[in-house]
Amino acid sequence: MRRIQLEEAEFFHLLRPDQLARVRSRLLLRPFRAGECIYFTSEPAESLWVLRAGEVRTVKISPTGHTTALERFRPGDLFGLAVAVEAASYGETAEGVTQGEAWRAPPQLLAGLVRDDPRLARELLAIVAKRLQGAHDRLCSFAHDSVPARIALLLVEQADGDRLEATRRAIGEAVGTTVETAIRVLRRFDRAGWIEGGVGSVRILDRKALERVARGEKLTD
């Protein structure tokens, strides 16, 4: 399992050595398991999280129990950005996709860094804006793109190299559809020779074909 250093993470890569030393003394390292919740929706936003190793995703769970995946994070990414906008609680649930570990930073630490160094405020604003743009793009995709297009785009964008570690259910949740529909689409991709399915993973065999579907090209039987 690859572990990053704090100075490799977004936002924290801009810190001077003296700032990094101050931050390290106040960070807590929190290990997690695959499927374990790191924080829940409506839980008080008491930490900014920095993923050190493994993968994490954020999800929203409806009152009827339907799960929609929001974002997926890899080492170096920040999550739990409710702290950055001074929200009282988290607006989503974060859970481990794989085993891993994350640093948790108290909001007072973040506020002090931003107050003392204006360039850090600009960096944090850019990260928040990027997350908001990503959320907007996903909502537009849910409204206008077909399920095959959404799944193809997910595979192209989220795969680590040629492999995506994700269950069929997780893929369905990430694109706003049922696991049954996700399975049907993935089987069509498999029959076309574009992917190869495994237990809890998908291997991409023809990235260009998936990119064409992601752009709106219709599937043919």
Tokens found for residue 120: 């850090």
Residue 182 phi, psi (nearest 5): -60, -40
Where in the chain are the domains? 6-141, 145-214
What per-residue confidence (pLDDT) applies to 12?
Answer: 94
* Sign of torsion over alpha carbons 32, 73, 40, 144: negative
Q: Is the pLDDT of residue 59 over 70?
A: yes
6-141 and 145-214 agree in CATH topology: no
CB 43 within 8 A of CB 54: no
Beta bridge partners of 33: none
pLDDT in tens, 113-156: 888 888 898 998 899 888 888 877 777 777 788 999 999 999 99
CB 57 within 8 A of CB 69: yes
What per-residue confidence (pLDDT) applies to 52?
Answer: 97
pLDDT, the chain, mean: 90
What per-residue confidence (pLDDT) applies to 68?
Answer: 83
Q: How many CB atoms lie within 10 A of CB 105?
A: 23
Q: What CATH homologous superfamily does 6-141 map to?
A: Jelly Rolls (2.60.120.10)
* Sign of torsion over alpha carbons 59, 184, 133, 136: negative
Q: Alpha-carbon dihedral of residues 167, 172, 175, 181, nearest 10 degrees?
A: 140
Residue 191 phi, psi (nearest 5): -65, -30
CB 201 within 8 A of CB 165: yes
Half-sphere exposure (Cβ direction) of 64: Cα atoms closer than 13 Å: 2
What is the fold of 145-214? Arc Repressor Mutant, subunit A (1.10.10)
pTM value is 0.74
